[in-house]
Amino acid sequence: MVERQLPKLGEIFELMQFKKPELNFKKARLESALTISDLRKVAKRRTPKAAFDYTDGAAEGELSIARAREAFEDIEFHPDILRPAENVDMSVEILGGPSALPFGIAPTGFTRLMQTEGEMAGAGAAGAAGIPFTLSTLGTSSIEAVRAANPRGRNWFQLYVMRDREISYGLVKRAAEAGFDTLMFTVDTPVAGARLRDKRNGFSIPPQLTLGTIINAIPRPWWWIDFLTTPTLEFASLTTTGGTVGELLNSAMDPTISYDDLAVIREMWPGKIVIKGVQNVPDAKRLVDLGVDGIILSNHGGRQLDRAPVPFRLLPEVVREVGKDATVIVDTGIMNGADIVASLALGAKFTLIGRAYLYGLMAGGRAGVDRTIEILRSEIERTMKLLGVSSIEELEPRHVTQLRRLEPIVQEGSRASVDA
């Protein structure tokens, strides 16, 4: 029998310690977010539907992004036991320079429409964390402003080849003069993908007020106050706006982009050049033969061609073919530090985050981006410790198995093969 007694008040108070309330509401909501999914929920509450859906959505049926996320879910880790990893080194050398963490911030367009601090928050947070920040051609801050926000950090520039080639050439020159060290030449956007959420929401640049947007804005007055009381959007490349994002892209992009354009840009650019949007092995091999410094396996976050190849599934085969000759980077669908660790184990040298960064931005501006980076950093560190590895170099393919949910059907006469 358990002996019972009257509780002692002193012992009760020792057992029941009340948490001091946090009066800083932004800090409280960000600290309560333990995952990128949590940040997404906060972002959805605080951001008008059209702006949130622009970030959250993808092309057509949104199958590409769903499959990319499933691919990261469908992995099995193989930890080593009795391998102490008390201190974990997460730093890497990437494209001729250091990064304190094995991921950087990907280029995102129209970023200040998500939250008014936009690229300034991303560049500042990246600089503070010691990771690269990438400015999009369709960014809403200038090349020079990003440099000012991240004066001692690593800045990269993502380039679209425009119909007016002189615009693109001018951007390349400005990025070089501003000290950006890497150019991200994007090849998967000859025309805009069908982003149906944007069409259904009537999302346009600049935002158009309708009865629906006004009703949706009522519980989110802070977003509109920020938007209307801060400087007007400044685009890195567009001189005129008006229309949906797809219409703007189609008016600016050139479907005739070719290897000749790559040769011209390569000749102009003094730093490292990587090709973003590679989606098969033959293209990867040809680009490496042409002497590019790296390739980024990406399907544009599922925002261009729906049902496109899943970059993470393509990764092992590309690394086998060209990994010794060029830097292989992967993006699309990364929402957890474990996704990053799995990518590195399978041969990627670096990863990029897009939506994860924007969820943090929408949830809390610069502080929200800091929180995104901190969440991913802690997840990477914990995953590595549980695997028994102390540095990125110790990660190997044996640490990860890709499980199968989608598997190609090989038909007679077909050259299709099962993913490695």
CB atoms within 10 A of CB 303: 26
- What is the four-CA torsion angle of 272, 174, 352, 205, rounded to 10 degrees? -150
* Pair 141, 121: CB distance under 8 Å: no
> Any residues with CB less than 8 A from the CB of 189 and at least 6 apart, and which?
160, 249, 253, 277, 300, 304
- Respond yes or no: is residue 399 known to be catalytic: no
- Residue 206, preceding peptide bond in cis (omega within 30° of 0): yes
Q: Classify residue 393 by its DSSP letter.
A: G
* Pair 150, 126: CB distance under 8 Å: yes
Residue 99 phi, psi (nearest 5): -140, 130
User: In residues, how long is the chain?
Assistant: 420
> Any residues with CB less than 8 A from the CB of 283 and at least 6 apart, and which?
none
Residue found under tokens 């949830």 = 363
Helix, strand counts (H, E) of the chain: 17, 12
Catalytic residue (choose from 112, 300, 303, 349): 300
Catalytic residues: 300
